[in-house]
Amino acid sequence: MKESLREYSNFSKLVIPAFTDGSCLNNGQKDTYAGYAVIFPFHKDLNEHGCIPVNTNNRAEMFAIIKACQIFEEFDKDKQHTLKIYTDSKLCVQTFNSWMEKWKNENWQKSTNGAIQNLDFVQIMYDLKMRLGDRIIVKHVFAHTKGKDFKSRWNRKADELARLGALETKENKFFDC
Each residue's pLDDT tens digit, 67-117: 999 999 999 999 999 999 999 999 999 999 999 999 999 999 888 878 899
What digits encode the pLDDT tens for the residues 33-55? 999 999 999 999 999 999 888 78
How do the domains of the chain map onto residue ranges? 2-94+132-171
What pLDDT digit, counting tens, does each position of 155-165 carry?
999 999 999 99
Q: How many whole angstroms separate alpha carbon 18 and alpha carbon 40?
A: 5
Percent of the chain clearing pLDDT 90 (strictly above)? 73
In terms of phi and psi (left: phi > 0; alpha: psi -120 to 50; beta: otherwise), the region of 11 is: beta
CATH 3.30.420.10 fits 2-94+132-171, yes or no: yes
